[in-house]
Structure 1
Amino acid sequence: MTERLDKGRHWFDAVYGEGASHGLVAMQQGRAQDLARLGIEFNFGDIYSRPGLTLAQRELLSLASLVTIGGLEPQLRGHTRGAIRAGCSPTEVLETVIHVVQYCGFPKALNAIRVVTDELVELGVELPEPLGPN
C-alpha cells in the first residue's frame, strides 16, 4: 500500500503542485482522510501512473470528462490548473471544452467554459481570441 500511495502522491503533486497530496488528506477529518487517501492511491497511483498517455493528455481527458458530467466546478478548476501545469496551452484547454459540447450539450459546456476561462484568467495566462464574430 505504501508504494501505491507514494506513486499516487507523485502524480497528484505533478498535477496540483508540490505537497498537494498531503494537503488533501490533511484538510479532511476522521474517515474522510481514508477516502482522500484512497482517491490518491487509485486515481493517481493506479490510473495516472499507467503508461501510454502523457500527463497533458490525461489532464485534457479529465477536463472533458468533468465537463460532460457537469456540476463539478472545484474539480474543473483544479484540472484546468493541472492542464496548464502539465504543459497544455489555453487553446487546448478551451477547445477541449468546446469539443465536448456535442456530447454534453450547451448548458454544461457554457457553464464549464465560464469556470475554465475564469481559472485561466486567474492563472494569468493569455486567452486566445475568438475565431468567429462576437
Structure 2
Amino acid sequence: MTTSEQESRLERGRRALAAIDGSAGEAVVNGLADIAPDFATYLLEFPFGDIYSRPGLSLRDREIATVAALTAMGTAAPQLKVHIQAALNVGIAREEIVEILMQMAVYAGFPAALNGLNVARDAFAAHDAASTQPV
C-alpha cells in the first residue's frame, strides 16, 4: 500500500467518524494518542476508512447493526454508549434504539438487553446534556 493510499484511508476514516460521532469520536481517537497512537490510526483506517465508508449501507443502517452487535456482545458498554449517541446523530430515534435493544433480548438474552437499556439511558442523558450546552 502506498503512502497516499494509507493517507486516503485515514482521511476517509476521519470524515466518516466526524459524520457519525462528531466530537465524541474525535475524543476517543485523541484519548489513544498517548498510549497507543498506532491503534488510533488503525481505528480510523479500518472500521471508519474502509468499512463505514463502503457503499451499500447508509450510516444509519450501519449504526443499527453496530448497536445490535455491541448489545449482543454484552462486554462493550463504553463503546455501546458512543454508538448509541452516534445512532442519534445519524437520525435514529430513541424509540428505535430502544426497540433494537429489546430485540436483542431474543437473541442475546435478557441480561444483555437490560444492560443495553441501562447504557441507552445514560447515552440519552449525555446527548441531552450536550445539546443544551451553550455554543
Task: Provide the residue aligned with 1:110 in structure 2.
Answer: 114
Alpha-carbon offset, residue 3 of structure 1: 0.2
Aligned-partner Cα distance in 1 for 2:15–2:24: 9
- Quick one: which amino acid aligns to residue 7 of structure 2? T
Q: CA deviation at 1:19?
A: 8.2
Give 4+ residue runs of structure 1 displaced > 4 Å after superposition: none
Q: TM-score, normalised by structure 1?
A: 0.84
Q: Distance in 1 between matches of 2:66 and 2:74?
A: 12
> What's the offset of the Cα at 1:117?
1.9
For 2:122 and 2:87, locate their aligned partners in 1 and report how far apart those are by CA, in whole Å.
14
In structure 2, the partner of 1:6 is: 11
Q: Aligned partners of 2:30 and 2:44: how far apart in 1?
A: 13
The question of 1:96 aligning with 2:93 is answered no
Choose from 44, 48, 64 the match for 1:60.
64
- Equivalent position of 1:131 in the other structure: none
> Residues 3 and 19 (structure 1 numbering): CA distance in 2 closer, same or farther, change over 3 Å?
farther
The number of equivalent residue pairs is: 124
Percent identity over paired residues: 36
Alpha-carbon distance in structure 1 between the residues aligned to 2:35 and 2:119: 30
Change (3 A) 1:110 1:40: same
- Structure-to-structure mapping, 1:1-134, within 5 angstroms: 1-18=6-23, 20-21=25-26, 23-29=27-33, 32-124=36-128
Give the structure with the higher percent helix. Answer: 2
Distance 1:118 1:18, change over 3 A: closer
Letter in 2 for 1:6: E
Q: If the length of structure 2 is used for normalisation, what is the TM-score?
A: 0.84
- Structure 1 unmatched runs, 5+: 126-134
Distance in 2 (alpha carbons) for counterparts of 1:19 and 1:13:
9
Offset, 1:47: 0.3
